[in-house]
Amino acid sequence: MKNLIKDSVAKAMDYAQYNLLIKQLAGEGRTTGEQTTEKIHFTKLNFSRIKRLDKTTEIEEKHIEAFKSLPEKQTWLVISEPWCGDAANTLPILNKIAQLSENIDLKVVLRDENPVLMEKFLTNGSRSIPIIVMVDEDFNVINHWGPRSKAAAQFVNDYKTHYGKIDAAFKEMLQVWYNNDKGVSVVNDILECIEVNA
């Protein structure tokens, strides 16, 4: 596992490179992996979402110190894809957190190019993303999180229980939920992750 993480970190992109990839794909009308109309559409949409969140996301004052005072260096390796809506709503928040601490190095790898890594962090048997793998300087896994905040996961589960599946209407509702939440649920969950390891 340690070698797998080490190799994954070595070939990972930083946040700026990941954003550049999405911008390029959106501009060319392409996406990563399978070139479906839906995934190409979501890649374009996610480019806009990420740009907006990069400008508007703010971490609450009461949480800033917790991230700034993280005592040991960590790499947060995020498994993502440009077409993933949950990733587009999460990565900008993680980037804002990482900017607060010199001890957090945010890196991104693509799920479909890293199947062995993805297999180690399945969610109920599925390859759901984004997944954040938090590792120390020796590439030991400290914790992992994802693919959604506990609050978002509850919203999804409630809908699935009531309607049987996720549909296009729900995807729109989930985006509205993300817009209203403003990243607060992600921040709260990540705070729990780092406090567990403090």
Half-sphere exposure of 61 (CA within 13 A, CB side): 0
pTM of this structure? 0.95
Whether 103 and 74 have beta carbons less than 8 Å apart is answered as yes
Q: Which domain holds residue 176?
A: 2-196
In CATH, what number is assigned to the domain containing residue 173? 3.40.30.10
Which has the closest alpha carbon to 147: 175, 113, 121? 121
| One pLDDT digit (tens) per residue for the chain, 198 residues | 999 999 999 999 999 999 999 999 999 999 999 999 999 999 999 999 999 999 999 999 999 999 999 999 999 999 999 999 999 999 999 999 999 999 999 999 999 999 999 999 999 999 999 999 999 999 999 999 999 999 999 999 999 999 999 898 899 999 999 999 999 999 999 999 998 665
- Helices assigned H by DSSP within the chain: 2-11, 15-28, 37-56, 61-68, 85-100, 115-119, 150-163, 168-181, 184-196
What is the number of domains present in the chain?
1
